[in-house]
Structure 1
Amino acid sequence: MGNQMTEMLKGTLEGIVLTILAAEPAYGYEITARLRDEGFAEIVEGTVYALLVRIEQRGFVDVEKVPSEKGPPRKVYSLNAQGREQLGEFWETWSFIAERMEKLHHEHTDHIDEGEK
């Protein structure tokens, strides 16, 4: 399941991170920790940081540099209006795909069950 999970996460990670930021502003390590808490243990920090750069460039987040007790200031990301719009589109798309996948799954399962009788 590992490779399949990685490939599926590539397509959905942006929406997952935007969802986390919709709840509250966070910096990169906090986002990575939250992902791990949610069961996405295989996601590495570098992947999250690269994604944060992309969503910042695309204008989905506002960034504030906040002093850190340890080291340089942290970049804290917060979802802005454009990011909320993108997140809404993500969830609409997710619902569309999930409904159709569920339908296909049930049709396939029913077909298999009928074949076994």
Structure 2
Amino acid sequence: MTSNLCCKPRNKVRSNVTLVNVGKLPGLNTLSISLPRLDFKAFGLNPPHIRPCGTELFVVIEGTLLVGLVTSNLNKLFTKVLDKRDVFVFPIGLIHFQFNIGKTNIVASAGLSS
């Protein structure tokens, strides 16, 4: 896969999430999963957010990305730099984010339970 952005982010956060759910891929029906693609331009951000109903399995397809989450017991920030093919799990209910710390485009994907 190339690092060219399929869905070019033209917003202030310089990122785009393309959802692949049962509405776009009927084969996902009854599986309780969705598979979003995330595209980040240089210094693009997927702002802090929470998934109260599911866990997220996140994989970097192209590039290097900073990810982070806030633990629930001590409200401590945990961050990690992920490279191509690295995987990270965002547990259900935790605030988390992704940030492109570099000058190249990043492509990532996630598997979301619901």
Q: TM-score, normalised by structure 2?
A: 0.30
Name which one, 1 or 2, has greater alpha-carbon Rg: 1
Structure in which a larger fraction of residues adopt helix = 1
Structure in which a larger fraction of residues adopt strand = 2
- Which structure's relative contact order is higher, taking Cα pairs within 8 Å and 6+ residues apart? 2
